[in-house]
Chains A and B, each alone.
Chain A
Amino acid sequence: MPHVDWTALLVVALVSVVASVVFAGLLAGGIRALVAARAATASGAPTTGALSLGYGLLALAALTVLYGLYLIVPQLH
Chain B
Amino acid sequence: MLFVVTAVVVVALVFDFTNGFHDSANAMAGPIATGALRPRTAVVLAAVLNVVGACLSTEVAKTISNGFFDERLVSPSIILAGLVGAIVWNLLTWLLGLPSSSSHALFGGLIGAVVVGAGFGSVHGWVVVSKVLLPALVAPLVAGLAAALATRLTYRVLGRTPKTEAAAGFRYGQAFTASLVALAHGTSDGQKTMGVITLVLVTAGLQQADTGPQWWVVIAAGLAIGLGTYSGGWRIMRTMGRGIVEIETPQGAASGAATTATILASSHLGFGLSTTHVSTGAILGSGVGREGAEVRWGVARRMVYAWLLTLPAAGLVGGLAALLADLGLAGVIVLLVLLAVACLVIFVLSRRHRVDRDNVTDSAEVMVFAGATGRALRPTDDTHTAPDHTRSGV
> Which residues of A come within 8 Å of B, CB atoms?
1-2, 4, 8-9, 11-13, 15-17, 19-21, 23-25, 27-32, 34-36, 38, 61, 65, 68-69, 71-75
Contacts and interface: CB of A to CB of B under 8 A. Distances in A.
A25 B145 CA distance: 15
B158 interface: yes
B187 A72 contact: yes
Contact of B264 (A32, A34, A72): A72
A61 B157 CA distance: 15
A63 to B, nearest CB: 13
B267 A72 contact: yes
A59 B244 CA distance: 32
Interface string B251-272: 0011001101110111111110
Contacts of B151: 24
Interface stretch (B109-117, B166-174, B229-237, B298-306): B166-174
Interface in B120-145: 124, 126-127, 130, 134, 138, 142-143, 145
B371 interface: no
B271 A71 contact: no
Q: Which 4 A-B pairs have the closest CB atoms?
A: A24-B150, A31-B169, A28-B157, A19-B261
Contacts of B149: 17, 20-21
Contacts of A19: 146, 257, 261, 264-265
A16 B153 contact: no
A16 B265 contact: yes
Contacts of A8: 269-271
Interface of A is mostly: helix
Given A17-B146, A19-B257, A31-B170, 11 more contacts: A11-B269, A12-B269, A16-B142, A16-B258, A25-B154, A27-B169, A28-B155, A31-B158, A31-B166, A72-B184, A72-B264
Interface of B: 53, 56-59, 124, 126-127, 130, 134, 138, 142-143, 145-147, 149-151, 153-155, 157-159, 161-162, 165-166, 169-170, 173, 176-177, 180, 183-184, 187, 250, 253-254, 257-258, 260-262, 264-271
Given A16-B266, A35-B166, A74 B134 contact: no
Contacts of B258: 16, 20
Contact of B57 (A20, A35, A73): A73
A12 B145 CA distance: 12
Contact of A20 (B158, B170, B187, B254): B254
B269 A24 contact: no
Contacts of B269: 8, 11-12, 15
A73 B138 CA distance: 25
A21 B143 CA distance: 11
B67 to A, nearest CB: 8
A19 B258 CA distance: 8
Contact of A24 (B58, B127, B254): B254
A16 B257 CA distance: 9
B176 to A, nearest CB: 7
